[in-house]
Amino acid sequence: MSVPLPAAFRYRTIDAGGVGIRCAVAGDGPPVLLLHGYPQTHLIWHHVAPLLATDHTVVLADLRGYGDSTKPAPGPGDAAYSKRALARDQVLLMGALGFERFAVVGHDRGARVGHRLALDHPGAVRALAVLDVVPTRHAYATADAAFAQGYYHWFFLTAPNGIPERLIGGDPEFWIRARMTARHGGGTPFDPAAMAEYVRCFADPAAIAASCADYRAAATIDLEHDDADAGRTVDAPVLALWGEHSFVGRHYDVLDVWRGYASDLRGRSVAADHYLPEEAPAETAALLRDFLTGCSARR
């Protein structure tokens, strides 16, 4: 089963400060970095990336701990998987590719990395798009029973003593398919080749451990970083997109929340659940392209 990306996308592994970041690059024009979420890889963008590559240089990256990127042992405090560390990886990746300033588009965990990247490296980020998230700090501060049910994995994955690692490791394919199909609202179905790649990558015990560390960091060191930046807004233009059927779309006034974190904001819902780039690729790509093109003309 072939990987669902056109041959124009060339794969490389870049040394980002001792962490190998796997990426695929294609296109020509203003650079844009696309970041995936949990429990996926860069292939979430396999529909959208070719459309953006017609007038942008598109970089698809596997986050540290995911896909075919390096999976450092989590270590004490899970600082190796803080969004600050993951964001630095991506700045080093883009610099190694020759891009000191670029747009960032992130879905799910990738959006949280993008948010941190824009705060820690404002000179590098020309524009930021965040897909189907509200900021981590807001999500935890307003968590209620509905959040605990809808986002139970946020709490399960932070459990200590190797509990989630052991349970997920018993049947990682079931976990991935169950998580993803539960948050798919119709539209374009998941590509079987992409799903097979998600399963292949996530079945690695090191990937399972890394992803749990990612969520543990979100509940600890990431919140410390976010609290230290309370009141700061992203300098770059921000586009927020969300699924009209997703938990985010049904439980938050997404634009109102992001107004507290972005000074130049726009956004709207998309006819999808959580996986916008796969469920509604044409609409998602068109909205991203309009936003990125507009930002290129302005800055």
The single residue of 78, 89, 108, 214 carrying the catalytic annotation is: 108
The single residue of 42, 47, 56, 274 carrying the catalytic annotation is: 274
Q: Is 56 annotated as catalytic?
A: no
Burial 12-22 (b: 16+ CB within 10 A, else e): eebebeebbbb
Q: What is the Cα–Cα distance from 28 to 165, expressed in whole angstroms? A: 41
Q: Is 274 annotated as catalytic?
A: yes
Structure tokens at 37: 């979420």
Positions of E strands within the chain: 10-16, 19-27, 31-35, 57-61, 102-107, 125-131, 238-243, 265-270
Positions of E strands within 85-135: 102-107, 125-131
Q: What are phi and psi of 298, to 5 degrees?
A: -85, -30
Cα–Cα distances (Å) from 221 to 52, 90, 142, 175, 217, in that order, read 34, 19, 18, 26, 5
Q: What is the Cα–Cα distance from 249 to 231, expressed in whole angstroms? A: 24
Positions marked active-site: 108, 274
